[in-house]
Structure 1
Amino acid sequence: MTICENIKKKYIRLSKGQRKVAQFVMDNPNIVWTNTASEVGRLADVSESTVIRFCYSMDLAGFSELQVKLKEYLMEKGEASEVKQAVPVKKIRNHIGADIVKNDIANISKTFNQLKEQDVEEVVQLLHTAKKIHFLGFRQSTPVAFWMYSNVNRLRDRVHFIPHEADKIAQQVAYMDEDSLLFIISLDEEYEDMATIVEIAKRKNVKIVAIRNKELNSQDEPANLVLIVPNTKESGNTCTIAVFSLLHILVESMVDQNPQQYEQYTKNTKSALNTSNLIAIS
């Protein structure tokens, strides 16, 4: 089955944005296999993240594999506008880190194939509409949660990071209300450390999103939405690059909800920072 035949077969199951990508790919295979994902998104009038999600919906490891499939399709038809010199298989296999990169791509693909598109879209809506967002992650999840906090914080106001300090935790929990979103990242066994915070937040009608490496077994699910990033078979640890890929898509998709709003906020923030620096210098 060719890549275009596969797209037609799965077309009905795609989201509205992904259907735009699918149609563009089928209509313009030469353009897609010779351009970047961001450029294809611009031409198809969708975001880069939608292009990437389309690839995962096609059971591909990513945009690069889509380009390979399109190149093969065009060469079979004798329509490839440009043939790039193939890298010898032996060279790829001997390249430092090639196996690691291959495993990372496989884990990213596995993660996105298991996610429900509707769940991802609902998380994006909560990030976009919540009046206050609190990011929480302990132990190995702390740097991941802080990365997410830093990226969202530069795009909108009233974004908070909950540090692992009793007094700071108490302050932020007291500040939460029904307009708040508690965004939890729990990639190991540290969920028990967060249980009390989550329970208090739930009683205050705070909306809760959780990114975890597995479902909860012994307790009722407190989160409104859960996105699972499974452990890798090789190490038993969560695939960190898959987590960051997911978070990157959430941030980019949030921006897609109102690009002008987020662009203006970023400009205003930079302008205010420059003004404060000038005042400090003078």
Structure 2
Amino acid sequence: MSFCDEVKKRFIRLSRGQRKVAQLVIENPNVVATHIASEVGKFIGVSESTVIRFCYAMDLSGYSELQERIRKDLSESKKVVTKEPLTIGKKHEYLFSEIMNRDVTSILNTIQYVDAENFQKATHYLHEAEEIYTLGFRQCAPSASYLTSMLENFGKKASQIQFDVNDIVKQIKRMDKDSLLFVIAFDSVLEDVLTILKIAKNKKVKVIAITNSTISLVRDYADISFVVGTQKQFSFEADTAASAIVHALIEGMTLLNRNHYKKYYNLNEQLDHDLRLLEEETIATK
């Protein structure tokens, strides 16, 4: 059994902070193998002592033995790869196709993790919810915004929770058993996100979540969860796959009542058309 397999086996018995270390070991072992304990702690938002306690929880003598075990696994599996994000200044003849193919691969890898029954159940949740709250902080905010916009286009009452204490409190107060909370959260999850999820579950709010990890703490609070991308991807690289799932869920929702949703979509299309005409007339009169 590899060390990563041992970590997965003991994951449920680890503390919350230790789980963050475990997640890094499983998904980015090369980072642990090449950085000291304090740097690893800063990278995932925990203390150096938490990293060391993780080692003890795994029956290791300390951080040095942790690195030795990981390096051994990496050497045996020949997976020692340095992950570097693509940069604007990178000279590459096929940069465009490389990026597009990476996104396609991310979506294809996501498909194998999507359970058909959960997908169908999620579309019903979206269709039946009287009010939908979307949540995505930091790098997940654009995906949450896209989801909110798509829902509004089809006449759903949707509100995006902002990264602001007053807005968070206001939105949580409005939630009830007929509400739906749709969370998009990648990598290290903010404590605020977990707090919102706990309160929502206490209020019997249904929760759908999209994460980029099979061991994300968010999944503990979700009625339905979807995992996007691949373990070797940076969180921002999973956005394309997340948007693909969002689009598919919205399409599935509209199929539950074609005429109802088509009416709202046509109204929005007509409004956009009228606004364009108004803009053209305004420009013409200047």
TM-score by length of 1: 0.59
Amino-acid identity (%): 28
Provide the secondary structure at the position in 2 that maps to 1:257.
coil
Q: Which amino acid aligns with 1:203?
A: N
Corresponding position of 1:176:
175
Equivalence map 1:62-211=2 (5 Å): 95-211=94-210
Alignment size in residue pairs: 186
CA deviation profile, 1:123-145 (whole Å, cap 9, x unmatched): 11111111110001111111110
Question: How many Å separate the matches in 1 of 2:142 and 2:165?
Answer: 19
Question: How many Å separate the matches in 2 of 1:219 and 1:232?
Answer: 16
Q: Which amino acid aligns with 1:116?
A: D
Question: How many Å separate the matches in 2 of 1:220 and 1:120?
Answer: 15
Q: Does 1:250 align with 2:249?
A: yes
- After superposition, the Cα gap between the structure-2 partners of 1:135 and 1:215, relative to the gap in structure 1 and judged at 3 Å, is same
Question: Following TM superposition, by how much is the alpha carbon of 1:226 offset from its aligned partner in structure 2, in angstroms?
Answer: 0.7
Q: Is the 8 A contact 1:107 1:232 kept in 2?
A: no
- After superposition, the Cα gap between the structure-2 partners of 1:114 and 1:269, relative to the gap in structure 1 and judged at 3 Å, is closer
Structure 1: 5+ residue stretches without partners: 1-92
Q: Is the 8 A contact 2:210 2:227 kept in 1?
A: yes
- After superposition, the Cα gap between the structure-2 partners of 1:107 and 1:267, relative to the gap in structure 1 and judged at 3 Å, is closer
- After superposition, the Cα gap between the structure-2 partners of 1:219 and 1:254, relative to the gap in structure 1 and judged at 3 Å, is closer
Corresponding position of 1:226:
225
Question: How many Å separate the matches in 1 of 2:170 and 2:151?
Answer: 21
Q: CA RMSD in A?
A: 2.9
Corresponding position of 1:55:
none
Question: How many Å separate the matches in 1 of 2:217 and 2:166?
Answer: 29
Question: How many Å separate the matches in 2 of 1:262 and 1:149?
Answer: 15
- After superposition, the Cα gap between the structure-2 partners of 1:269 and 1:191, relative to the gap in structure 1 and judged at 3 Å, is same
TM-score by length of 2: 0.58
Provide the secondary structure at the position in 1 that maps to 2:112.
helix
- After superposition, the Cα gap between the structure-2 partners of 1:269 and 1:193, relative to the gap in structure 1 and judged at 3 Å, is same
Question: Following TM superposition, by how much is the alpha carbon of 1:268 offset from its aligned partner in structure 2, in angstroms?
Answer: 4.5
- After superposition, the Cα gap between the structure-2 partners of 1:257 and 1:97, relative to the gap in structure 1 and judged at 3 Å, is same
Provide the secondary structure at the position in 2 that maps to 1:146.
helix
- After superposition, the Cα gap between the structure-2 partners of 1:217 and 1:272, relative to the gap in structure 1 and judged at 3 Å, is closer
Provide the secondary structure at the position in 2 that maps to 1:177.
coil
Q: Which amino acid aligns with 1:141?
A: C
